Amino acid sequence: MKNIKIYLVSIAIVIVIGCKQEHTCECYKPGGKFKTYIIKDNKNNARTKCNEYSNEYQQVPMSETYCELK
C-alpha cells in the first residue's frame, strides 16, 4: 500500500511539472520594460522562446535591449 502511494505521488509530481504553464517573458531597454509576452509552455521551451525574442531585439548594433523569463 505504501508503494502505491509513493507511485501515485510521483506520477502527480511529474504531471504537474511537465504540464504547460503560463510564463511571462519581459523585455527591457534602458528606459524600462517595453514589451511583455505570455508563453504557455513548459519552462524549458518558454526560456528558449524568450531567448528568441531577446535575439530579435539584438539585431540593432550596440543594443542594450534584453528579455528575461519571470
Q: Are 69 and 42 in contact (CB under 8 A)?
A: no
Q: Please state whether the predicted TM-score (pTM) of the whole model is above 0.85.
A: no
In this prediction, residues 7-11 reach a mean pLDDT of 68
* pLDDT for 14: 60
- Give percent of the chain with pLDDT exceeding 70: 83
* pLDDT for 1: 72
- Give percent of the chain with pLDDT exceeding 90: 51
Q: What is the pLDDT of residues 44-66, one digit of tens each?
A: 999 999 999 999 888 877 788 99
